Amino acid sequence: MNKVEDIKDLNIKEMKLDEIIILDRLRSINTDMISPLSDSIQRNGLLNPITINQNNILISGYHRYTACKELNFETILCNIVNTEDEDKMKLIEIDENLIRAELE
């Protein structure tokens, strides 16, 4: 995959925050990150959508979801991945958290 056209599964949709289902997370919320993230979202908007599956189950983006909840957003942009495979959903969550770089 090396062209934008090759990304056939990309499905970005605006969803109501209250319709997103939060199950047990592999990583707990770092409450120290929520306020700065909320400030950034308020200043710059949500730069990256969260990821859910077709059943509205959150796969990745729990901090972004929580920050938007704190800002009283009614909706959030979501990348919808067509999977019910729990292992695949966990791998997506792990992958996103491992790739994210902590900048100093």
37 in any annotated domain: yes
pLDDT in tens, 36-84: 999 999 999 999 899 999 999 999 899 999 999 999 999 999 999 877 7
Which among 17-31, 46-60, 82-96 has the top mean pLDDT?
46-60
- CA torsion angle 22 75 100 60 (round to 10): 30
25 in any annotated domain: yes
Axis crossing angle, helix 62-70 with helix 31-44, rounded to the nearest 10: 70
- Give the pLDDT band of residue 34 (cuts 50, 70, 90): very high
Decide: helix, strand or coil at residue 76.
Answer: strand
1 in any annotated domain: no
CATH number at residue 25: 3.90.1530.10
Residue 93 pLDDT > 60, yes or no? yes
- Closest by Cα among 23, 37, 43 to 69: 37
